[in-house]
A = this chain, B = another copy of it.
Amino acid sequence: MNTPSFNIAAVERDTGLSKDVLRVWERRYGFPVPDRDNNGERCYPAEQVDRLRLIKRLMDLGHRPGKLIATPLDELSELAPRRSKAPALAVPASHEGLDELLTLIKQHDAASYQQAMQQRLARQGLQAFVQDTVAPLTGKVGEYWEDGRFEVFEEHLFTELTNRLLRQAISTLPGGTRGPRVLLTSVPDEVHFLGLLMVESLFTLEGAECIALGTQMPLLEIGRAAEAHQADIVALSFSGAFPQRQIPGLLQHLRLVLPKEAALWAGGSGVARIAKIDGVGLFNTLDDALAALAMWRTQHD
């Protein structure tokens, strides 16, 4: 395996660090220091790209870049998350066996994972399956990813397999007709969709009419879609990886774009620490969302 070099655009794509950041780090911290081609443009060796990806991962965990770059290469030991974890209350009985499931992913054994999940789904029923298996499992995958136990492609495998399970489950449900019309999507740059699928499962079970539009809808288009589908509720999902800074502005902006009569709801680990916004419902858990759905119904009977 050769080690070709990346230009700055390729590094941005592969690490998620913007060109501006890459340049300003070089200026400030003296890392990364790429080679230059004949044309004076940066050529990052694969080694530096790997290190950058590691740094990015630790940053998403709450570390600060200045420190990380200074640290030699025993960063690997710093895997302990700085961000104070929830102190792991007593694990509910139904949450047991999750690590075993992730072990299957770690072994790249798609078939066994799928089978084990099918069994849990049959045993628990869809609602409990989503709330007590898929949701905590997704959280655990986040942890595994944060402390380096999962490679990117293992997280992708998990996402893809779980995707299939949830869609399969949803497809067996009768289309809801009695509840509100709920438009489910996410904003540009937000590609995570498992949260949307979970909500769709639960809401459809409750008889709501879900219209899933996939991820990454431009704001103005969300407004048009809400009008076209006469949505009662527009529900967005923000993952923990989404830049939190942008969320409040984004939601306020969208609130202005949407028809007044449409409710705007946002959920996912990305909104956990967002301050309340006028006219926008923020939900930290699936239970909160279900409660809000029930509340909506009492107000629109």
Considering the chains assembled together, what is the distance between the CA atoms of A157 and B224 in angstroms?
Answer: 13
Across the interface, name the chain B residue whose C-beta is closest to A230. Answer: B108
State whether B152 touches A14 (Cβ < 8 A).
no
Contacting residue for A151 out of B46, B185, B224, B246, CB 8 A? B224
Considering the chains assembled together, what is the distance between the CA atoms of A108 and B225 in angstroms?
Answer: 10
Check A213/B4 contact, CB under 8 A, given A220-B49, A224-B153.
Answer: no
| A139 CB within 8 Å of chain B | no
State whether B50 touches A4 (Cβ < 8 A).
no
| A35 CB within 8 Å of chain B | no
State whether A1 touches B217 (Cβ < 8 A).
no
Considering the chains assembled together, what is the distance between the CA atoms of A6 and B167 in angstroms?
Answer: 35
State whether B220 touches A259 (Cβ < 8 A).
no
Q: Which residues 79-128 in A have Cβ within 8 Å of B in the complex?
A: 108, 110-111
Check A171/B160 contact, CB under 8 A, given A10-B253, A256-B4.
Answer: no
State whether B14 touches A153 (Cβ < 8 A).
no
Contacting residue for A218 out of B1, B9, B13, CB 8 A? B13
Across the interface, name the chain B residue whose C-beta is closest to A107. Answer: B228
Residues of chain B contacted by A14 (CB below 8 angstroms): 188, 218-220
Considering the chains assembled together, what is the distance between the CA atoms of A206 and B172 in angstroms?
Answer: 27
State whether A229 touches B160 (Cβ < 8 A).
no
* Contact flags A244-273 to B (C-beta < 8 A → 1, else 0): 001001101100111100000000000000
Considering the chains assembled together, what is the distance between the CA atoms of A258 and B4 in angstroms?
Answer: 12
Task: Determine the main DSSP class of A at the interface with B.
Answer: helix
Contacting residue for A1 out of B156, B167, B188, B259, CB 8 A? B259
State whether B153 touches A225 (Cβ < 8 A).
yes
| A2 CB within 8 Å of chain B | yes
State whether B213 touches A160 (Cβ < 8 A).
yes
State whether A108 touches B229 (Cβ < 8 A).
yes
Task: Give the B-binding residues of A (Cβ under 8 A).
Answer: 1-4, 6, 9-10, 13-15, 46, 49-50, 53, 108, 110-111, 151-153, 156-157, 159-160, 163-164, 167-168, 171, 175, 185, 187-189, 191, 211-214, 216-225, 228-229, 246, 249-250, 252-253, 256-259
A-B contact pairs, 22 of them (CB 8 A): A1-B259, A4-B256, A10-B219, A10-B253, A14-B218, A14-B219, A49-B220, A110-B211, A151-B225, A151-B228, A152-B217, A153-B213, A153-B217, A153-B224, A153-B225, A153-B228, A156-B217, A156-B225, A157-B213, A160-B214, A164-B167, A191-B216
